[in-house]
Structure 1
Amino acid sequence: MNLNTPFRSHSVNETIRAGSEFGKQLSPGDVVCLTGDLGAGKTHFIKGVASFFGVDPDKVNSPTYTLINEYSGEIPVYHFDCYRLKHEQEALEIGAEEYFYGDGVCLVEWPEKIGSLIPDNAIWIKILHLSGSERDILIHQKNSE
């Protein structure tokens, strides 16, 4: 998967495989921000990334009510879901910045809710639901929302 070149996924399994392929380029300290409408496929993509690091994808689910799920793999994988946050302060209170500058990979759904906390070098992924199970997945270095 290349920067600024959309990848077209035709199924949930392809989206998971795309996440796993993308995971190959990640290393500890990377922060990946995923944007897209509800149901766009962000969590499926994250299942793929986590599986690359040895996490069972069946164990990966959106931490909508807990904010962060921590997965133990070859390196730690931290899965954020900021959808329900009302203020950035809530993310600070649970130590989001410590995760962002820590020893794992951070995968953040709804990053726009904590925009000023996101590191400048974060990778941004936009997932667009086209129709049925088709998605376009676009990777950027900077947020271009």
Structure 2
Amino acid sequence: MSAPTLRHSVRSGSPEETHELGMRLGRLLQPGDFVGLVGDLGAGKTHLVRGVAEGAGVERSQVASPTFAIVYPYQGRLTLYHADLYRLADYDELYATGFLDMVGGDGALLVEWLDRIPEAAPREYLRLTLREVGEESRELVAEAWGARPVGLLTDWLLAER
């Protein structure tokens, strides 16, 4: 994989801050956007995902973990596909789910555990890596490949709050 076009890190001091970062990202998502999430259990991915969904106009009560369904669609101001690759063994197993038909499609795609099957990502995408840096503090490293993901990252983390 080539080096990202743009890389930026931000620190979150609490689960609420992580949720708010997600909401800001969710407000910016457009159909065709692909966001991959990487991080250990407890790194804050769930708080971020719930925020993204809320920012995309999804009812809070609709957001659940798609671990067993692999992909779960949410309807807000756009369709947000929430995928979880944790239980999949390899790319062939992912291919059999029909997941690849959603990439670049009519909605935005938010993919947890992308590091388990990195070849699932398209050429242009945004990858967010979360890691614990304290009991409630997290570091979020955002890396963008391609023009649209760079614009998304710029509008999300680098623009005026």
TM-score where L is the length of structure 1: 0.90
Which residue of 136, 139, 144 maps to 2:142? 139
Which residue is equivalent to 1:20? Answer: 23
CA RMSD of aligned residues (A): 1.4
Partner in structure 2 of residue 85 of structure 1? 88
Select the residue among 74, 96, 113 that pairs with 2:99: 96
Partner of 1:30: 33
Q: Which residue of 1 is the match for residue 122 of structure 2?
A: 119
- CA distance in 2 between counterparts of 1:95 and 1:31 reads 16
* 1:51 and 2:54 matched: yes
2:64 to 36, 61, 65: 61
- Alpha-carbon offset, residue 109 of structure 1: 0.6
Task: Give 1:57 shift.
Answer: 2.8
- Structure-2 separation of matches of 1:83 and 1:104: 22
Q: Deviations over 1:39-66 (max 9, x none)?
A: 1011211111111111123431221111
SS in 2 for 1:55: coil
User: Is the 1:35–1:126 Cα contact (8 Å) retained in structure 2?
Assistant: yes
SS in 2 for 1:6: strand
Residue-pair matches, total: 140
Do 2:29 and 2:56's aligned partners in 1 also have CA atoms closer than 8 Å?
Answer: no
Name the counterpart of 2:150: none
Distance 1:57 1:137 in 2: 23
Structure 2: gaps spanning 5 or more residues: 1-5, 146-161
1:67-120 deviations in whole A, cap 9, x for unaligned? 111101110001111011012122111211111121111000111222223101
Q: Please give the alpha-carbon distance, in whole angstroms, between the structure 2 residues aligned to 1:15 and 1:57.
A: 15
Q: Which moved more, 1:96-105 or 1:108-117?
A: 108-117
Deviation at residue 139 of structure 1 after TM alignment: 0.8
Q: In 2, distance between residues paired with 1:29 and 1:5? A: 22
Q: Percent identity?
A: 37
The amino acid across from 1:64 in the alignment is T
Q: Is the 8 A contact 1:75 1:104 kept in 2?
A: yes
Letter in 1 for 2:120: L
Counterpart secondary structure, 1:92: helix
